[in-house]
């Protein structure tokens, strides 16, 4: 029997976190919650969640700030995040995506819808989990992380070290929007000599080498890039 998925909730409204914990436990999840955003990072590290539900509007430390802290943390940087907010306008959604959120749900919301979104994200993450042997396989793209090789449709394609790291980052986050800033932090490790236009150049090179792939890196206008399946 598979272990229960762990959901971590951050919201300053105790009534809401209590309700969400009750609903999620009924659906077979293991949960933990904090109402103090300043306690969120350390508690989440101890809990090791599979997914985080994060409120945006909290006093002193808002959800956007906390999300950036999660994304820069070695243990929590890969954990998917669903943001909850009473401000569900387009600009707020873009800001959430720019900060690294995987989904965005406006308040008030139906707990059933939140649970469906959680299950959908967890399913997607499971499908992207690399098989044994250090390989990542998505569509007709196969990456061997140990040998540093990439094959598309069975044909090995040469990639530079940086191109390999960039593609690896996208493959592990299929469908998730990545801003230039996040890519700069994660792939180039804050290299002061790297400009954001350098990222655009590498994206163009990846697109050229992935012309025969059934995946593509699409531009999300005003936000960044994401890896998706090509439209048929």
**Residue boundaries of the structural domains of the chain:** 6-127, 135-229
Q: What is the CATH number of domain 135-229?
A: 1.10.10.10
Where does residue 83 rank: exposed (0-12), middle (13-18), buried (19+ CB within 10 A)? Answer: buried
Please report the pLDDT score of residue 135 as a whole number.
85
Q: Write the pLDDT tens digit of every residue in 106-118.
A: 888 888 999 999 9
207 contacts 217 by C-beta, under 8 angstroms: yes
Provide the token pair at 148.
């540093």
CA distances from 148 to 123, 145, 158, 168, 185 (A): 27, 5, 10, 10, 21
7 DSSP β-pair partners: 31, 51
pLDDT for 115 equals 93
What are the distances in angstroms from CA 17 to CA 23, 50, 216?
Answer: 10, 17, 38
Is domain 6-127 annotated with CATH 3.40.50.2300? Answer: yes
pLDDT at residue 177, as a whole number: 86
Same fold, 6-127 and 135-229: no
- By the 8 A CB rule, do 154 and 145 touch? no
In three-state secondary structure terms, 161 is helix
d(CA 97, CA 177): 7
Which alpha helices (DSSP H) does the chain contain, by range? 14-26, 40-47, 63-71, 90-99, 111-127, 161-171, 180-186, 196-209
Low-confidence ranges of the chain (pLDDT < 70): 1-2, 88-90, 92-94, 96-99, 127-133, 189-196
DSSP 158: -
The model's pLDDT over 72-122, given as tens digits with 9 standing for 90+, comes to 787 888 788 999 887 766 676 667 666 678 888 888 888 899 999 999 888
Instruction: Say if residues 125 and 82 touch (Cβ distance below 8 Å).
Output: no
Distance from C-alpha of 177 to C-alpha of 185, rounded to nearest angstrom: 15
- pLDDT for position 1: 37
Q: What is the pLDDT of residue 194?
A: 58
Alpha-carbon distances of 74 from 42, 48, 77, 120, rounded to whole Å? 12, 12, 6, 24
């Amino acid at each position: 029997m598979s272990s229960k998925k762990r959901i971590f909730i951050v919201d300053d409204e105790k009534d809401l976190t209590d309700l969400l914990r009750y609903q999620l436990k009924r659906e077979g999840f293991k949960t933990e919650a904090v109402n103090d955003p300043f306690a969120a990072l350390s508690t989440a590290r101890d809990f090791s969640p599979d997914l985080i539900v994060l409120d945006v509007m909290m006093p002193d430390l808002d959800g956007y700030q906390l999300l950036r802290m999660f994304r820069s943390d070695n243990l929590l940087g890969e954990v998917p995040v669903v943001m909850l907010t009473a401000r569900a306008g387009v600009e707020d959604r873009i800001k959430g995506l720019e900060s690294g959120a995987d989904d965005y749900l406006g308040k008030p919301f139906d707990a059933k819808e939140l649970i469906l979104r959680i299950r959908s994200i967890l399913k997607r993450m499971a499908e992207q989990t690399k098989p044994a042997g250090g390989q990542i396989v998505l569509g007709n793209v196969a990456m061997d992380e140990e040998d540093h090789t990439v094959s598309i449709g069975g044909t090995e394609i040469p990639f530079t070290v940086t191109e390999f790291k960039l593609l690896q980052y996208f493959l592990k986050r299929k469908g998730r929007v990545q801003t230039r800033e996040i890519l700069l932090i994660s792939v180039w490790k804050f290299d002061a000599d790297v400009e954001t236009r350098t990222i655009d150049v590498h994206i163009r090179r990846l697109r050229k080498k992935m012309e025969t792939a059934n995946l593509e890196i699409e531009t999300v206008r005003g936000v960044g890039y994401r890896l998706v399946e090509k439209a048929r």
